Amino acid sequence: MSLVTVSLGERSMEINEIRVEIRKHHVTPGINVLDLIIDADGEKIVKQTQHKDTDHAFQKFVKDITKVGQELANARIEG
């Protein structure tokens, strides 16, 4: 794990770790396991949850995180 500091104008953001992992449950079909670890900018979330394929909140999360990932992947490097 490495420490990254990002400058946001006059304010900097400390990023220790951000990790999102989604995998199929190894025993129960139709269940997804979400591991979410965020240690950034003073926030710390370490959570594991299980969701059915049809869970609307889970589907929205996947859609939103995919959009953010695409935006970051396509963003130009500033500096």
pLDDT digits (tens, 9 = 90+) for 14-60: 899 999 999 999 999 999 999 999 999 999 999 999 999 999 999 99
**Category of 30 on φ-ψ map: left (φ > 0), alpha (ψ -120 to 50) or beta:** left
Q: Phi, psi (5° rounding) for residue 28? A: -100, 115
Cβ pair 52, 33 in contact under 8 A: no
| Structure token digits, residue 58 | 């889970």
- Average pLDDT of every residue of the chain: 88
- Kindly indicate the confidence band of residue 7, based on its pLDDT and cuts at 50, 70 and 90: low
pLDDT, residue 77, reads 83
pTM score:
0.74
